[in-house]
């Protein structure tokens, strides 16, 4: 029997090996066949299509469509986009140091960085770019214009700018340079013996800069009793920097994150490697729906190890790891290679999406895990804060004022009337009634969720043939909605004022000033201060009581 069993086992192994070889052969044949079909198709279209085509644009359309079928984070990075990629990873790029957006039909400066070529040349927020090196911006996208503005340090760029309040366009010449955008733009105290710093992106040296911010706070405030660490709006960045930032608050040798993907040999575990700055000081971490990826690693790790209390809203829900591969001609592909898991064992990748964003799934439908002290936490859809607060911008009127650039335009008008401004901590916006008049004068309109639902109800009633019977009641409801909308500006005065103050201060004191003025009226900052001033509540939250 033994020889037979041995022969049978060998036969089975041989058959399995042959099956694997057949599967691999079939797979490689399919890849080769489809590449050949695609190449022939591409050549035929370029040769025979009735209109002239841009071969590069045609290929880019095909590449983007292919990658779009995978996930939102797998992207092709062309040679012209390398500078943008460098900014995401390094926090610096070669250009003029300004952000632009298309507002209406105009390419408009929406922010400039302190000590940048744009700032030195006198370019202002609100300026409309008419021409760049003789090329019209009309009809171009903001990405196209930004690619033109970027270039080697020391090279000139000539702009024709239309400035609000001035009748004639003016010419501005500036010298491109390397632009460095600090990832920790503000550090300071926000209350008696309570420190604050914000991290905006996990670019290179994020861990070192966070460590320096905490060390400076401790040095300048010997009685420091707590720190607020702001990760709101931070979309992530480098995985290694997430480990380094975590290491500022937790001991050397702690497991931070494990990555697991298709290729087992690429699976890795990342532990802290350095001596921490402080493992004991009370810590509140602010997160929101735009805190993603590396932000979720750090906030999730601090929660899993019971090192700090999370305050705000559930984070975005991106538990995927991307790596880049060179694909020739100074271009790259950034592709998802793994999922990451934090110390409790959970992966916070969203499992359901709605309108392109991870859907908020109830805890009852998610798998449960335990923090080091035994608190229950959940996977599948972001990191849930320990203290959940309603987001300030949930109101439709506030979102619409931002989306339609009403707040931006009013700030531009304000700057035209005010050539100077007090320091951010001393500035208070005091002309809300004037802003309301400005909004009404410019025929601001928006549709509430209730109005949308009412319109859907009208359409259903018409289909079912009962609209005539319901018309009077529906009209009465619509009028009540319109009456309520007239009070929306007043009802949201605090949040609108906060946004106006930040937009105005940004024009004079740049990003640092925007953060500083926003701290004054921030409800999440107030909650964090209250929590750090109540040690018993703080300990209770970390203990899960």
pLDDT at 20: 54
Instruction: Output the average pLDDT for the chain.
Output: 88
DSSP characters over 473-484: HHHHHHHHHHHH
Question: What residues contact residue 48 under an 8 Å CB cut-off, 6+ apart?
Answer: none
Instruction: Report whether pLDDT(466) > 90.
Output: no
Global pTM value: 0.81
Give CA–CA dist 250/202, Å, rounded: 18
pLDDT, tens digit, 9 for 90 and up, residues 250-277: 999 999 999 998 888 888 999 999 999 9
pLDDT digits (tens, 9 = 90+) for 88-120: 666 667 889 999 999 999 999 999 999 999 999
CATH fold for domain 92-180: Pdz3 Domain (2.30.42)
- ∠ CA(121), CA(126), CA(132), 5° rounding? 55
The owner of tokens 């991870």 is 358
CATH 2.30.42.10 maps onto the chain at 92-180
Type and span of the H or E element at 189: strand 187-191
Is 293 in the active site? yes
Mean pLDDT within 405-420: 96
Residue of 127, 230, 304, 379 marked catalytic:
304
Interval 494-503: pLDDT, tens: 999 999 999 9
pLDDT in tens, 346-393: 998 876 766 656 677 778 888 899 999 999 999 988 999 999 998 866
Cα Rg of the chain, angstroms = 28
Residue ranges of the chain assigned to CATH 3.90.226.10: 187-389
What is residue 257's predicted lDDT score, i.e. its pLDDT? Answer: 96
Q: What would the pLDDT profile of 445-465 be if each residue is shown by its tens digit?
A: 888 888 888 889 989 988 999
Task: Find the catalytic residue in 127, 291, 299, 318.
Answer: 318
* 301 neighbors 348 (Cβ within 8 angstroms): no
Active site residue 318: yes
Query: What is the CATH code for 187-389?
Result: 3.90.226.10
pLDDT at 1: 43
Q: DSSP letter at 313?
A: S
Beta bridge partners of 202: 237
Q: Is the pLDDT of residue 486 over 80?
A: no
């Amino acid at each position: 029997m033994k020889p037979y069993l041995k022969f049978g086992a060998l036969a089975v192994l041989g058959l399995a090996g042959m099956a694997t070889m057949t599967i691999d052969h079939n797979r490689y044949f399919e890849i080769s066949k489809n590449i050949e079909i695609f190449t022939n198709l591409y050549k035929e279209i370029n040769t025979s299509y009735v209109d002239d085509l841009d071969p590069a644009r045609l290929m880019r359309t095909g590449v983007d469509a292919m990658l779009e079928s995978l996930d939102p984070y797998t992207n092709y990075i062309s040679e012209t986009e390398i500078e943008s990629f460098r900014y995401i990873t390094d926090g610096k790029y070669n250009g003029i140091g300004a952000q632009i957006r298309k507002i209406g039909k105009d390419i408009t400066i929406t922010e400039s960085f302190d000590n940048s070529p744009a700032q030195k040349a006198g370019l202002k927020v609100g300026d409309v770019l008419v021409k760049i090196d003789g090329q019209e911006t009309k009809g171009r996208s903001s990405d196209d214009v930004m690619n033109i503005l970027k270039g080697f340090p020391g090279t000139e760029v000539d702009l024709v700018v239309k400035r609000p309040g001035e009748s004639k366009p003016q010419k501005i010449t500036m010298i491109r340079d390397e632009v460095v955008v600090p990832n920790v733009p503000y550090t300071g105290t926000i209350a008696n013996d309570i420190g604050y710093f914000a991290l905006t992106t996990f670019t290179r040296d994020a861990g070192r800069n966070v460590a320096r911010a905490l060390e400076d706070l401790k040095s300048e405030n010997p009685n420091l009793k707590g720190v607020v660490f702001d990760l709101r709006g931070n979309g992530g960045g480098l995985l290694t920097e997430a480990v380094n930032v975590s290491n500022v608050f937790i001991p050397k040798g702690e497991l931070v994150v494990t990555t697991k993907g298709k290729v087992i040999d690429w699976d890795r575990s990342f532990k802290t490697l350095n001596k921490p700055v402080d493992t004991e000081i009370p810590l509140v971490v602010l997160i929101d729906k735009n805190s993603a990826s590396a932000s979720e690693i750090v906030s999730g790790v601090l929660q899993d190890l019971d090192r700090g209390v999370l305050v705000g809203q559930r984070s975005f829900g991106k538990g995927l790891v991307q790596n880049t591969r060179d694909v020739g001609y100074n271009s790259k592909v950034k592709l998802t290679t793994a999922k990451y898991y934090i110390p409790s064992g959970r992966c916070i990748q969203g499992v359901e999406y709605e309108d392109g964003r991870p859907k908020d799934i109830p805890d009852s439908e998610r798998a449960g895990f335990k923090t080091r002290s035994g608190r229950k936490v959940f996977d599948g859809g972001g990191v849930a804060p320990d203290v959940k607060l309603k987001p300030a911008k949930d109101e439709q009127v506030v979102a619409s004022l931002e989306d339609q650039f009403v707040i931006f335009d009013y700030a531009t008008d304000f700057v035209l009337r005010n050539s100077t401004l007090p320091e951010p901590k001393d500035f208070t916006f005091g002309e809300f009634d004037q802003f309301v008049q400005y909004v009404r004068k410019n025929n601001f309109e928006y549709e509430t969720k209730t109005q949308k639902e009412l319109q859907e109800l009208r359409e259903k009633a018409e289909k079912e043939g009962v609209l005539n019977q319901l018309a009077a009641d529906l009209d009465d409801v619509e009028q009540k909605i319109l009456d309520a909308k007239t009070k929306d500006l007043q009802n949201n005065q605090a949040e609108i004022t906060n946004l106006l103050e930040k937009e105005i201060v940004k024009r004079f004191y740049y990003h640092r000033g925007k953060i500083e003025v926003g701290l004054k009226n921030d409800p999440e900052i107030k909650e964090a201060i209250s929590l750090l001033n109540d040690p018993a509540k703080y300990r209770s939250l970390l203990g899960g009581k």
